[in-house]
């Protein structure tokens, strides 16, 4: 841990966080290492909007640590309000970067269409799906990802929207399933993995945590559990089916590839 590039400290209060930050500073400096003052930042998570912010500053040896509304950790973004807009936008940007780097193959008419589809699924779509298993994604966010994917598939085929070719035609030719269905498949695959673990496993302990405190005003945001329940209803599945792993994977498989 002393040589980890990215370290996250979690605390329920700013005072506790300051204490832990000082402990890490002392431990690292005793080994000849140093916490970066310019890269260190902190995020105040207020998912319900009902908590009060303490009048305490986060400090490293008298230097204030800046407050941010989002930060990137291990390839994913976390927002102070608990939403995933930044993460979705980042995944789209990463997908386009992978697509542009591979245009020599994806847009070359000499390559077979099915080969392009396989290359797209391995290089581009996998980058866009990274970390999506834990997303409580909304319809508007899914739509943004679908639009980005269809633009890629149309350019790969050498057509535009002016040609008035339906999206299903491109997906069939490239043998590429709709990305929204791949998101659902990934969520349900992870859900099955979690439910098959022992009750003493850390992931099951996190799944059973109950949050204390008052909820904020207005409609509650969609949770991951609610998203899973909707997925189960859409596919006519139940939680007890997860025990048969092979059958579960077959049932949640997206249409196409």
Question: Would you state the pLDDT for residue 44?
Answer: 87
Give me the mean pLDDT over the 190-219 stretch. 80
Q: For residue 196, how far is the Cα from the chain centroid?
A: 22
Q: For residue 88, how far is the Cα from the chain centroid?
A: 7
Residue environment code for 144-179, b if the CB has 16+ CB neighbours within 10 A, otherwise e? ebeebbbebbbebbeeeeeeeeeeeebbebbebbbb
Is residue 84 exposed (0-12), middle (13-18) or buried (19+ Cβ within 10 Å)? buried
* Radius of gyration, alpha carbons of the chain: 22
In this predicted model, what pLDDT tens digit does every residue of 98-152 receive, in sequence order?
999 999 989 998 999 999 999 999 999 999 999 999 898 999 999 999 999 999 9
Q: Which residue has the higher pLDDT, 244 or 218?
A: 244
Helix (H/G/I), strand (E/B), else coil: 72: strand
Tokens read off for 60: 């490293």
Least confident of 139-153, 198-212, 227-241: 198-212
Q: Which residue has the higher pLDDT, 189 or 216?
A: 189
pLDDT band at 50 (very low <50, low <70, confident <90, very high): low
pLDDT band at 186 (very low <50, low <70, confident <90, very high): very high
pLDDT band at 256 (very low <50, low <70, confident <90, very high): confident
Q: How many degrees, rounded to 5, is the angle at CA 189 between CA 188 and CA 192?
A: 85
Give me the mean pLDDT over the 30-51 stretch. 80
Instruction: For residue 35, give the H/E element and its range.
Output: none
pLDDT band at 75 (very low <50, low <70, confident <90, very high): confident
């Amino acid at each position: 841990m002393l040589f980890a590039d990215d370290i996250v400290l979690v605390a329920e209060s700013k005072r506790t966080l300051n204490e832990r930050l000082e402990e890490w500073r002392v431990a690292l400096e005793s080994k000849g290492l140093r916490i970066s003052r310019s890269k260190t930042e902190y995020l105040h998570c207020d998912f319900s909007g009902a908590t009060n912010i303490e009048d305490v500053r986060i400090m490293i040896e008298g230097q204030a640590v800046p407050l941010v509304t989002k930060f990137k950790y291990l390839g994913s973004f976390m927002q102070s309000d608990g939403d995933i807009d930044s993460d979705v936008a980042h995944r789209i940007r990463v997908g386009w970067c992978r697509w542009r780097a591979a245009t020599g193959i994806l847009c070359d008419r000499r390559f077979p269409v099915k080969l392009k589809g396989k290359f797209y699924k391995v290089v581009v779509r996998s980058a866009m799906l990274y970390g999506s298993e834990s997303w409580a994604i909304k319809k508007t966010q899914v739509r943004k990802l679908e639009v980005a994917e269809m633009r890629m598939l149309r350019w790969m085929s050498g057509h535009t929207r002016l040609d008035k070719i339906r999206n299903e035609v491109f997906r069939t030719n490239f043998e590429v399933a709709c990305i929204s269905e791949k998101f659902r498949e990934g969520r349900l695959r992870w859900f099955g993995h979690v439910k098959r673990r022992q009750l003493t496993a850390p992931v099951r302990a996190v799944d059973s945590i109950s949050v204390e405190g008052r909820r904020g005003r207005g409609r509650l945001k969609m949770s991951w559990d609610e998203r899973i329940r909707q997925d189960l209803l859409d596919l006519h599945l139940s939680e007890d089916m997860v025990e048969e792993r092979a059958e579960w994977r077959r049932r949640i498989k997206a249409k196409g590839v």
